[in-house]
A and B are shown apart, each in its own frame.
Chain A
Amino acid sequence: KAGVTQTPRYLIKTRGQQVTLSCSPISGHRSVSWYQQTPGQGLQFLFEYFSETQRNKGNFPGRFSGRQFSNSRSEMNVSTLELGDSALYLCASSGSDVREQFFGPGTRLTVL
């Protein structure tokens, strides 16, 4: 079974631009979560989607948004990029009652 995939793997943007990241979960998994990882803050939860509905949201500004499609693929969007948005963005999928999370390789976003 293929693992979680994320595209693109690397992105360089400038302040004020917007960016869209994509995540394809493990086949059959309907829950997709997004995390931001920075050296200072560690891993922080952004949001979680299930069957095209956002079920949970972390403490991030409205510039961070996401969506999920009928095939469970998910995208997250960050508008009006700031320098502090530079981070590794990770998505994870889950498909069982034990809520075990499987992570993708991440997208490294650099904001200049």
Chain B
Amino acid sequence: KQEVTQIPAALSVPEGENLVLNCSFTDSAIYNLQWFRQDPGKGLTSLLLIQSSQREQTSGRLNASLDKSSGRSTLYIAASQPGDSATYLCAVIPGGTSYGKLTFGQGTILTVHP
């Protein structure tokens, strides 16, 4: 059974810092991995999807890497801003016939203070 762990559970940083969020998974037989952001009481916003054949993916100030063999992914946020404050979730997308059956980590609650 796939298990996904995110470290740290919470992070508070001053504006402008670069930061790294970690995600680990127990079964390396993944199809893809997706990072999301969730604001309080809202739905999930897709940030980045990394295909299992890729090592990293970039979008603006965000960079996500994937090391499938070691079961790890990291999300790097450059020059953090107060608007980045949210919960960040990683999700493993399974292959085969397990369509739609994502396994999520518990999330990292990020607070960026001015």
Binding site for B on A (CB under 8 A): 4, 6, 31-33, 35, 42-43, 45, 48, 50, 55-56, 58, 88, 90, 92, 94, 98-106, 108
Contacts and interface: CB of A to CB of B under 8 A. Distances in A.
Interface residues of B, number: 26
A102 B102 contact: no
Given A92-B100, A99-B32, 7 more contacts: A43-B104, A48-B100, A56-B101, A98-B51, A100-B34, A101-B34, A101-B100
A106 B43 contact: yes
A92 B44 CA distance: 9
A99 B104 contact: no
Given A42-B106, A42-B107, A48 B44 contact: no
A32 B106 CA distance: 22
B31 A99 contact: yes
Interface in B13-43: 31-32, 34, 36, 41-43
Nearest to B51: A98
A101 B102 contact: yes
Interface in B88-114: 89, 91, 93, 97-107
A103 B89 contact: no
A49 to B, nearest CB: 8
Interface string B49-92: 10100000000000000000000000000000000000001010
Contacts of B91: 43, 101
Given A99-B31, A101-B34, A103-B36, A31 B100 contact: yes
Contact of B43 (A56, A99, A105): A105
Given A43-B89, A102-B46, A106-B42, A94 B100 contact: yes
Given A98-B32, A103-B36, A106-B43, A42 B101 contact: no
Contacts of A31: 99-100
27 contacts: A6-B43, A32-B100, A33-B100, A33-B101, A42-B105, A43-B91, A45-B102, A55-B99, A55-B100, A56-B97, A88-B41, A90-B43, A92-B100, A94-B99, A98-B32, A99-B31, A100-B34, A100-B46, A100-B93, A101-B46, A101-B91, A101-B93, A103-B36, A103-B44, A103-B46, A105-B42, A106-B42
